[in-house]
Amino acid sequence: MAKMIKLVSGDGAEFEVEEEVAFQSKIIKDIVADADDVIPLPTVSSKVLIQVIEYCRKHAAVNSFPLSPSSSAAAAASSSSSISYSKPVSDPALRAWDNEFVKLNNSSLFDIVIAANYLDIEELVDLVLETVADRIKGKQAQEIRRQFNIENDFTPEEEEALRRENSWAFQNN
């Protein structure tokens, strides 16, 4: 019988999940090591927790039977930055599932990545951030501002200074 962990969302909902699913979160893995089976997550709403658990459940099943080097091995091999840029998900079916999973509006994606960052679920963080990057790539500044509701909070002087500071990027050799 698989060991169960109880996760409690900020709005009081309780979720019982298998240990290997919960352990997709490094934080939870560490906490449970100290013999604590009920884990309150006051900053995560049940709506977001459900989505995160869904991701973890799918990826726990795949990680149990790795066909290719697991993400943790790839992450260990990567550089000093805490977020890995290696692409651990080489299974096309899983990639397809991930791509469906992230078909959410920006606000929902941000909620998920904040929770995943808090829970230290590296692959989920990478997945969402890459999705956000894809939504920014190739777009004009105006459109990015509109889509992500970004306010221009620069003074004209700051804008000019920034233009000069980054002019090297726009020059040719």
> Should residue 143 be labelled a site residue for another protein when binding is judged by CB under 8 A?
no
Structural tokens at position 82: 């805490």
User: Which of 69, 77, 144, 146 touches another protein (CB under 8 A)?
Assistant: 144
Q: Round to whole Å and give the CA distance between 90 and 98.
A: 12
CB neighbours (10 Å) of residue 33? 9
Q: Round to whole Å and give the CA distance between 9 and 40.
A: 6
Q: Round to whole Å and give the CA distance between 148 and 171.
A: 29
CA distances from 145 to 23, 106, 138, 152 (A): 37, 13, 13, 8
> Should residue 136 be labelled a site residue for another protein when binding is judged by CB under 8 A?
yes
Site mask for another protein (CB under 8 A), range 14-43, x = bound? -------------x---------------x
Count of positions on this chain that bind another protein (CB under 8 A): 55
Task: Name the minimum Å distance from CB 9 to another protein.
Answer: 8
| Residues engaged in binding another protein (CB under 8 A) | 10-11, 27, 43-45, 47-48, 79-83, 85, 105-108, 110-111, 113-115, 117-120, 125-126, 129-130, 132-134, 136-138, 141, 144-145, 148-154, 159, 162-163, 166, 168-170, 173
